[in-house]
Amino acid sequence: MAGRYTITIKYGGDEIPYSPYRILALPTGDASKCLVTVSIGGHGLGSGMGPTIQIGEETVITVDAKHAGKGKVTCKVSTPDGAELDVDVVENADGTFDIYYTAPEPGKYVITIRFGGENIPNSPFHVVACGPAPLIEEPCDSLQFSPPW
């Protein structure tokens, strides 16, 4: 992640000469040039991040980083209770990255996607996971996407 860091190096419990070292880590690419598409259960949702996902169905987020330069995609998915979900990020040969996760329970999830240590456009994303809605209740599609700002 980009930012200022202090690195302390010790040998035998003692700092080596000139330690600690102060460094500035810079982003390696341009996260603003990344594009996102989403697929839930094999059904594409197109560009951006939809307001709802289905519990128990694998969600695939594709980040197109072809024009973003050199860098890697990282992702963190926070559950409604604040825990982190296991997420798989796969780098494809065509300059895209696929992110795989499955929401285990209903509620609001926060998805933070970074490229080269910097948030991609509109990240973090806020989505709601819900199960199949009974016919007498309002469908989960009526829930609105809430941008982080």
pLDDT of residue 57: 87
Q: What is the CATH number of domain 28-131?
A: 2.60.40.10
pLDDT of residue 9: 94
Cβ neighbours of 123 (radius 10 Å): 21
Q: What is the pLDDT of residues 87-99, one digit of tens each?
A: 999 999 999 999 9
89 close to 97: Cβ distance less than 8 angstroms: yes
Is the pLDDT at 137 greater than 60? The verdict is no
Q: What is the pLDDT of residues 63-75, one digit of tens each?
A: 999 999 888 999 9
Is the pLDDT at 26 greater than 50? The verdict is yes
Sorted by where each begins, the domain ranges of the chain are 28-131
Q: What is the pLDDT of residues 76-87, one digit of tens each?
A: 999 999 999 999
